[in-house]
Amino acid sequence: MQTTQAEAAGRPAPTERIRRLVSEHRELLLYGVIGGSAVCVDFGVFLLLHTVGGVHELTSHAVSVGTAVLFSFALNARYNFRTTDRLATRFASFATVALVGFLIGAVVIWSLVEFSIVAEVAKLISLPLVAGVQFILNSRFTFAGGETQ
């Protein structure tokens, strides 16, 4: 078995560093994957209702966001934060966090548009801030200190 230069110098091999990094940030990484999937669910349901079904855009938006919140909560509770207790209370907290994120995003978008930033760019700028705030709130309040699987 050969040792790499990194190992010989007392540093972990690159694959070991990646493994540690993933392990240390597992919740955040999984939260991002689940969140990205929830965005796809949101947009897919919106397209299905509005474009295919002819449902009013605001009604379609409300249903698609609600569906994405349910989807995201279920996956985060089971696979990311692995909590099994007080799910109704946790869901109420998750929905509240989603509302906080929605409001932060709306303020960021409105503010940037006021400074002549295109709305689509403003939305893109708001996403990392909203995701960060929601991750912190959900990990510290919604899914903190529960019974795990």
Task: With 0.75 as the threshold, say if the pTM is over it.
Answer: no
Whether residue 3 is predicted with pLDDT greater than 60 in this model: the reply is no
Q: Which residues of 30-54 are buried (b: 16+ CB within 10 A; e: fewer)?
A: bbeebbeebeebbeebbeebbeeee
Q: How far is CA 143 from CA 21, 28, 62, 90, in A?
A: 22, 13, 25, 7
Confidence of residue 4 (pLDDT cuts 50, 70, 90): low
Query: Residues 57, 94: one domain?
Result: no
Query: Residues 64, 99: one domain?
Result: no
Q: Which residue has the higher pLDDT, 92 or 25?
A: 92
Query: Residues 73, 24: one domain?
Result: yes
Query: Residues 90, 146: one domain?
Result: yes
Domain end, chosen from 80, 95, 120, is at: 80
Q: Considering its fold, how many domains does the chain have in total? A: 2
Contact indicator for 86, 146 with CB cutoff of 8 Å = yes
Query: Residues 148, 88: one domain?
Result: yes
Q: Which residues constitute the domain of residue 132?
A: 84-149
| Count of residues making up the chain | 149
For 56-93, the pLDDT digits (tens) are: 787 787 788 789 889 998 998 888 777 778 888 888 98
Whether residue 140 is predicted with pLDDT greater than 60 in this model: the reply is yes
